[in-house]
Structure 1
């Protein structure tokens, strides 16, 4: 029984992000590929290799800053979002919106409260979920110019992450209330404040973290690619869940995704390069084919657009809420290439 409990512990202490090769645009052989993680890493920890080893992370160089995860367009690199989400939720006072702000701090900043190795791990989904909860959130960073973990431009990157989260939250009418600032001396006394509802959960997770810290670090488990629901990165699962309060039916939700025009030749390229299985190509009993899009699983990487031989794919940036309810028919044809 203990083995089962330990196997399910959050891998919060593991500095290496999980890499899911089938989501990588290099492994998918998308036209143009991608080198975002390699170009972004401030420590030279990421090298690009052949198929099956397209992204290699040097554990001796990786600091766990998360900047590669921030820029990965397809969710091939990711950290578990739930520990940070729990920290924000547990600090929220549900009885009042005027209580102390929830906070996430850079571990190098010296500020108290829940911390991340670097605020480079903060993503749009995290900020959008905080907005859905109505939780004011303060992000406290340290001296990023001298930090050995992240990069000097982490605060500027956080501003861009917040802008993306606010675009997602705009149709809900409830923007995220996020403050980004450098930690001040008085922040060193900042303590974890939890609501009565979250107190037990916080204590339980603290116990799990204590046990996890006594274990050797190990990589997160691979995604089971045979389960379609698991192909969607956690980041985009939480982005969709964070669309609360529910946008009105005529609202325009920012979610870049592909459309297909009549120049399509019904080849399988778009479905083959899609890193999350958001595009599926279903053969019909009569010999035709349907091209379907699961909008909630689409990361907007546009590998399909760049790889389409006749350039029949175009990006659409905004969608109505109903588009998330069921797969969208992108194209239906009587023939198959």
Structure 2
């Protein structure tokens, strides 16, 4: 019974990723724009258009492979992470390693439509739980769902996750490999608590499949916490065990130098509003960065008129605990 519960981990039953326009660099009118989702799609399902309709996904062409989500630099395209994360956690509770497979592989165990949906946050979280994770793919050449380079892209995802895990001193134990004949008999093992939760989720998923397909719930942009994509929220949560205070945490983000002209461009193009401009009582402006909300897209760097923004790729853990003062302009009083 649990095999059926886990056979499809996306809790909406919808192959289309959610598109959040305010997070899109095209909608934010960042200089240079972005076409990563269009370029990576193996089925020409992603089309780029004018402002207000910058990204559209053809439901007849989209297979739900997730490659567009995997490469989106700002989290404008995303799938829910709760179900695959919970699956890995439940398998961890059973005392064994965890696995995720693609249905085309013929392997048993929990599956996602394509391993193109695996992101650094998922791998990093498995590392935080110290859970060995097998990512088992099928014959990707000629696959009707993903693309031939899915295994190569997976290895790049693992490299990103391992870089994030490095400061914790506990690397993820993850393997990317093709399926073997023995994998066909892989069983789903979960803890008792995990089994009960899985049954509840299974009932919810069964109900969802009786309803018309719908995208992930609309994101309320008025809630600041929701502006940060789940992917980057989980990357931050996965920094466990806590890195030493002197450890360098890889997290690309902007710095501002003295040539800044105090214009609002960087804040305007920021897809998660990680950069904010606070007006002081004396008429000056403080430019602040919420590092945890920054996706490292560098739309601000490319758009800065005087080119006063530079990328810093590593930060100390303390930088995540409070807003960073990027610039303090002179008083106008």
**Which bracket does the TM-score occupy, shorter chain normalised?**
over 0.9
1:331 aligns with 2:293: no
Contact 2:123 2:172 (8 Å CA) reproduced: yes
2:218 corresponding residue in structure 1: 222
1:24 aligns with 2:24: yes
Contact 1:256 1:317 (8 Å CA) reproduced: yes
2:6 corresponding residue in structure 1: none
1:188 aligns with 2:184: yes
Separation (CA, whole Å) in 2 of partners of 1:300 and 1:218 = 30
2:263 corresponding residue in structure 1: 267
User: Which whole-Å deviations, capped at 9, do the CAs of 1:227-283 have from their partners, x for residues lacking one?
Assistant: 111100000000000000000110100000000000000000000000000000111
How many correspondences in the alignment?
324
Separation (CA, whole Å) in 2 of partners of 1:110 and 1:13 = 21
User: Which of the numbers 213, 228, 233 marks the counterpart of 2:209?
Assistant: 213
> C-alpha displacement at 1:101, in angstroms?
1.9
Helix, strand or coil: the match of 2:64?
A: coil
> C-alpha displacement at 1:222, in angstroms?
2.1
User: Which whole-Å deviations, capped at 9, do the CAs of 1:35-71 have from their partners, x for residues lacking one?
Assistant: 0000000000011011111000000000000000000
TM-score, length basis structure 1: 0.94
TM-score, length basis structure 2: 0.95
Separation (CA, whole Å) in 1 of partners of 2:217 and 2:89 = 25
User: Which whole-Å deviations, capped at 9, do the CAs of 1:80-121 have from their partners, x for residues lacking one?
Assistant: 001000111111136xxxx43211000211111110000000
1:302 aligns with 2:298: yes
User: Which of the numbers 156, 160, 171 marks the counterpart of 2:167?
Assistant: 171
Separation (CA, whole Å) in 2 of partners of 1:33 and 1:335 = 34
> C-alpha displacement at 1:197, in angstroms?
3.1
2:231 corresponding residue in structure 1: 235
User: Which whole-Å deviations, capped at 9, do the CAs of 1:137-176 have from their partners, x for residues lacking one?
Assistant: 1011011002100000000000000000000000000000
Helix, strand or coil: the match of 2:277?
A: strand
2:5 corresponding residue in structure 1: none
User: Which of the numbers 154, 159, 162 marks the counterpart of 2:155?
Assistant: 159
Separation (CA, whole Å) in 2 of partners of 1:253 and 1:12 = 34
> C-alpha displacement at 1:12, in angstroms?
3.5
How do 1:64-79 and structure 2 match up within 5 A? Answer: 64-79=64-79
Contact 2:279 2:286 (8 Å CA) reproduced: yes
Separation (CA, whole Å) in 2 of partners of 1:195 and 1:144 = 32
User: Which of the numbers 274, 279, 287 marks the counterpart of 1:291?
Assistant: 287
Separation (CA, whole Å) in 2 of partners of 1:260 and 1:175 = 32
Contact 2:70 2:117 (8 Å CA) reproduced: yes
2:4 corresponding residue in structure 1: none
Separation (CA, whole Å) in 2 of partners of 1:141 and 1:125 = 19
> C-alpha displacement at 1:10, in angstroms?
6.8
User: Which whole-Å deviations, capped at 9, do the CAs of 1:115-135 have from their partners, x for residues lacking one?
Assistant: 000000000000000000001
User: Which runs of 5 or more structure 1 residues have no equivalent in the other structure?
Assistant: 1-8
User: Which whole-Å deviations, capped at 9, do the CAs of 1:301-322 have from their partners, x for residues lacking one?
Assistant: 0000000000000000000000
Contact 1:10 1:212 (8 Å CA) reproduced: no
2:144 corresponding residue in structure 1: 148
For the aligned residues, what is the CA RMSD?
A: 1.3
User: Which runs of 5 or more structure 2 residues have no equivalent in the other structure?
Assistant: 1-8
1:55 aligns with 2:55: yes
